[in-house]
Structure 1
Amino acid sequence: MDLKEAGLTGNEDLVYTALVELGSSLAGKISRKTGLHRRTVYDVTETLIQKGLVSYILENNRRVFTAVDPQRILDSIDQKKNMLIPFIEGLKMKFNTTRRKEQTNFYRGKNGLKMVFESQLDYPEILILGATREAYNAMPYYFKWFNERRKEKKVKIRVITSDKSIQPKILAETRYLSEKYSNPMVINIYGDSVAMILWGKKPFALVVQQEEFAIGYKKYFELLWKIAKK
C-alpha cells in the first residue's frame, strides 16, 4: 500500500516520502532521491503545498522543502469524509425514495404463514378483506398470540368479511358484506405489500411487495368499506 490510496499521485507519493526520509531538502536532493527531473520536483512540490502536505522556506533565494506531519494526511481524509457525509446522506435519501422494492414470495404451510403474519406487525394498520373462521380454526393458539402482540405494538386492523361470527375487538373495526360475496381467498394489505392467503388442509400465501399494487388494493378496500355494513 502507498499514498496513492490516500489520493496522491505516484509522483506526489515519491516526493512526499522522500521528504519524510530526507528531512528538509532542496529540489536537487529530492530529484536525486526520487529519480525525477528537477522541474518535475518543483511542479510536484507545488501541488503538495496546495494540499497542505509540504511547506518551504527561502534560504539564499532557494526553496528548502519540508514534509508536514503525516498525520495531516489522515486529518485531510477525515475532513473530506465529513464534508461528504451530508452529500452521501442526500444521495441515500434519493436512492431510497426512487428505488422500488418489488418482489413476490410464496409461502406454504402453517410455519410459512406465521412468517407472513409476523411481518405485518411492523405496520400501523392491517386491512383484511374476506376474513374467515378457517384461519382461527387452523391456528387458534397462534392467533391468540398474534392478537396479543398486535395489541402490544398498537397495530390496528380493519376487517371486511361476510362471516358474522368474526368479531375482533382488539384495536379493530369490522364491517360485513352479504354472504353472496364470500370468498375462500383472504387478502391482507399492509405497507407496500399484499398477502393473498388461501386456507385449507395445506394453507399457502402469495405475498406481492410492490407499492402501486398495494395502493390499488387499498383503494379497492376503501370502496368496499363504504359499501359494507357495520
Structure 2
Amino acid sequence: MKEALRNLGLTDGEISVYLALLKLGTVTNSPIAKESQLQSSTVYYCLNSLVKKGFATYILKGNRKHFSAVDPEVIPEILDEKQKQLDLQKKEIQQIVKTLHQYKRSSEEQTTAEVFEGFRGFQMIFRSILKQSRRGDYYEAFAYEQKTTESPAIKLLFMQHNQKLKRKGVKLRLLAPLSMKNVLLNIYGKQFLQNFQEIRYTQTVIPVGITLFKDTVITHIPENEKIISIKVKNHKLATMYRDYFNFVWKSTED
C-alpha cells in the first residue's frame, strides 16, 4: 500500500501523516505527531504538503487548524488531475521540441580546430577515425606528391589502417597525383595497391594531404621531416571539400 502511495508522489512522511489522519479523523497537529511518531515540525510540513497535493483538507476552529484526510474514494480523481497535468506538460514539451533541436544543431555546428604534430599525432588521427567509424561509413582522402621513399612507421600505419577499415566495413576512396602512381607501387607493392579499397590518380595538383571524415576536414602538411595535421570540424567546410573531391574523382582514372 505504501508503495502505491509513493507512486502517487507522496513521501514516506506524508504517507505516515495521511494514514494517521485516516485513523484519527479531524484533528490538530499534536495527535497526528503522536500517532505517526514524527516530530511536530515534520508533521506540520507534511500536512501542508498533503493539502497542496489534494490528500488533506483543514478547517479553522478558533485560531487552530484541524486537519482531515480526503476520502480514499477521491484518490482516482487526484490521479485524473495529475494525468491532465502530465498531458498538458507533454503538449508544452512537444511545442518546444523543435526549438530544442535547433539548440542541439547549433551546438553540433560549432567549429572546432586542433593541431597535431609529428607521427604520434598523425597516428592518433587515424585511430580516431577507426574508433568513430561504423560499418557502412566511408571517408575520402587526397594524397599529396611526396618523395620516392616512406618512413617504415608511416608505411606500416597505412597498411594496417587499410586492413582494419576493410575488416570493419568502412569504405575509403583515395585520390593521388598521377606522378605518384609508380612511387606508390614501389613503396607499397602491387599486391597492396590491388587490395586497396578504391584509389584513383589525377593530374590535379594536390599540395597537401587532406582527409575527409564525416563533418571533419584534416589537412596534413609535411614540414622539416615531420607532419603537421590540422583538424577542423565544420559541416559546411566538409561538404565543400567533399563536393570538390567527387568532382575530381569523376574526372580521373583508376
Whether TM exceeds 0.5 here: the answer is yes
Unaligned runs of 5+ in 1: 1-5, 56-61, 69-75
1:164 aligns with 2:184: no
CA RMSD, Structure 1 to Structure 2 (Å) = 4.4
Shift of 1:96: 4.5
What's the counterpart of residue 76 of structure 2? Answer: none
| Match of residue 217 from structure 1 | 241
Give TM-score, length-normalised by structure 1. 0.63
Indicate if the aligned counterparts of 1:125 and 1:155 stay in contact, CA closer than 8 A: yes
CA distance in 2: counterparts of 1:113 and 1:135, whole angstroms: 20
2:120 counterpart of 1:126: no
Q: Aligned letter for 2:181?
A: K
Supply the AA of the counterpart residue of 1:137. E
Mapped partners of 2:147, 2:164: distance in 1: 21
Q: Distance in 1 between matches of 2:206 and 2:68?
A: 91
Per the TM alignment, residue 136 of structure 1 is displaced from its structure 2 partner at its CA by 7.5
Q: How far does residue 194 in structure 1 lie from its aligned partner after superposition?
A: 0.6
Aligned to 1:16: 14
Per the TM alignment, residue 160 of structure 1 is displaced from its structure 2 partner at its CA by 1.3
Residue 190 of structure 1, aligned match among 213, 230, 235: 213
Structure-to-structure mapping, 1:127-166, within 5 angstroms: 127-132=140-145, 137-138=150-151, 139-162=154-177, 163-165=180-182, 166=184
The amino acid of 1:110's aligned partner reads: F
Counterpart mapping for 1:1-230 below 5 A: 16=14, 19=17, 22=20, 24-30=23-29, 45-49=50-54, 64-65=68-69, 94=101, 96-100=104-108, 101-121=110-130, 122-123=132-133, 124-132=137-145, 137-138=150-151, 139-162=154-177, 163-165=180-182, 166=184, 168-170=193-195, 172-178=197-203, 181-183=205-207, 185-200=208-223, 201-230=225-254
CA deviation vs aligned residue, 1:145-182 (integer Å, no higher than 9, x gap): 2122112112221111111133633452222222x724
**Secondary structure at the counterpart of residue 28 of structure 2:** helix
* Residue segments in structure 2 that go unaligned for 5+ positions in a row: 1-6, 34-39, 58-65, 73-81, 186-192
- What secondary structure does 1:164 align onto? helix
Q: Which has the higher helix share?
A: 2
Residue 131 of structure 1 deviates from its aligned partner by 4.3
Supply the distance in 2 between the matched residues of 1:135 and 1:150 (Cα, whole angstroms). Answer: 25
- Give the C-alpha shift of residue 216 in structure 1: 0.9
Aligned residues: 191
- Scaled by the length of structure 2, what TM-score is found? 0.58
The answer as to whether partners of 2:172 and 2:198 remain within 8 angstroms in 1 is yes
Q: Following the alignment from structure 1 to structure 2, what is the Cα–Cα distance between the partners of residues 152 and 118?
A: 14
Structure 1 residue 48, shift from structure 2 partner: 3.3
Letter of the structure 2 residue corresponding to residue 125 of structure 1: Y
Amino acid at match of 1:199: P
What is the SS of the residue equivalent to 1:181?
Answer: coil
Paired residue type of 1:65 = A
